[in-house]
Amino acid sequence: MARYTGPVCRLCRRQGMKLFLKGERCFTPKCAVERRPMPPGDHGQRRRKVSEYGEHLKEKQKARAIYGVLERQFRRHFQDAQRQAGATGENLLKLLETRLDNVVYRLGFADSRNQARQLVTHGHIQLNGRRTDIASALVRQGDVISVMPRSRETEYFKVVGETLAKKSVPRWLELDPAALSGRVLTPPSREDIETNVNEQLIVEFYSR
């Protein structure tokens, strides 16, 4: 599955806010938003009036950057959200939140969604006891997400195992640090999703 491979700090600078795409580095003074708090490019410092369309587009791009999803798949998630009962924007965020790569990140197995995605695509993660390498797979209530037995012996997961006990997970998930596994207790509600996105603007973008 294709993914964005360009410089991710540019995406934060374009949004003018931290999107926390790089794990630990985002919490240090090395963060590009702190060092260069202006949009990227030669004309980054120019003041520009942003149109209504521009605002909607920016919000959609923000959500895409946060969850690391390319346009085609993002639109597909949006269409799925439209088909579900309830508010489309909320449905969209819930779909994005239940992606396997996001859940691996939320459980603390990875420092960023990019890293979580790599863990999944490289076959380190199993869903309900079966190896799953599809980052966009959606988890459901009762699903168990765990690290493959052979991967638990790797240096990376030994370090992760030592730090997991200190991490907190969203209330819709349950973490068993000793077993390097987690469970989906309930589908996430909008309040459970801390992502700083105005989903209504995204709905308006696609409703043009």
The one among 3, 4, 33, 170 contacting ligand SF4 by CB under 6 A: 33
Q: How far is the CB of 113 from ligand SF4 (least distance, A)?
A: 11
Pick between residue 9 and residue 95 the one whose CB is nearest to ligand SF4: 9
- Report which secondary-structure segment, H or E, holds 131: strand 130-131
Task: Please report, as residue ranges, which positions from 12 to 31 form the binding site for ligand SF4 (by CB under 6 A).
Answer: 12, 18-22, 25-26, 31
- For residues 33 and 136, give the distance between their C-alpha atoms in angstroms, rounded to a whole number: 28
Angle, CA of 56, 62 and 63, to the nearest 5°: 95
Pick between residue 33 and residue 57 the one whose CB is nearest to ligand SF4: 33
Pick between residue 28 and residue 168 the one whose CB is nearest to ligand SF4: 28
Burial class (CB in 10 A: 0-12, 13-18, 19+), 103: buried
- For residues 128 and 119, give the distance between their C-alpha atoms in angstroms, rounded to a whole number: 16
Tell me phi and psi for residue 164, to 5 degrees.
Answer: -60, -40
Residue 9 lies near ligand SF4 (rule: CB under 6 A): yes
Pick between residue 7 and residue 54 the one whose CB is nearest to ligand SF4: 7
Contact set with ligand SF4 (CB under 6 A): 8-9, 12, 18-22, 25-26, 31-33
